[in-house]
């Protein structure tokens, strides 16, 4: 279940080991989401309009679209 209170565009809401859904660069047109656990936070700024970029434990990189409870 996604948490609407936590915005994936704000870095303060993203933490290591958080369960999230991301959209990878090559899936941006289709909007296909990939679920996983955050390993690293790659975006340095406090806000990004398309979502904070993260690396999942699986190695996949993308922007956070949903934060899973």
Q: Does the residue 3 lie in any domain? A: no
| CATH code for the domain in which residue 31 is found | 2.30.30
State how beta strands 53-56 and 33-41 pair: antiparallel
How much is the pLDDT for 69? 77
Q: Tell me the average pLDDT across 22-38.
A: 97
Give φ, ψ of 67 to 5 degrees: -110, 125
> For residue 3, what pLDDT band results from cuts at 50, 70 and 90?
low
Q: What is the pTM of this model?
A: 0.90
Q: Tell me the average pLDDT across 57-64.
A: 98
**Cα 45 to the chain's mean position, in Å?**
14
Q: Does the residue 36 lie in any domain? A: yes
What does the pLDDT look like over 31-60, one tens digit per residue? 999 999 999 999 999 999 999 999 999 999
- Distance separating alpha carbons of residues 61 and 18, to the nearest angstrom: 14
Q: Does the residue 26 lie in any domain? A: yes
């Amino acid at each position: 279940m996604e948490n609407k209170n936590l915005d994936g565009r704000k870095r303060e809401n993203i933490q290591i080991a958080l369960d999230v859904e991301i959209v990878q660069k090559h899936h941006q047109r289709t909007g296909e989401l990939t679920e996983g656990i955050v390993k690293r936070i790659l975006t340095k700024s406090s806000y990004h309009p398309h979502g904070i970029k993260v690396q999942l434990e699986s190695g996949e990189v993308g922007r956070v679209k949903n934060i899973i409870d």
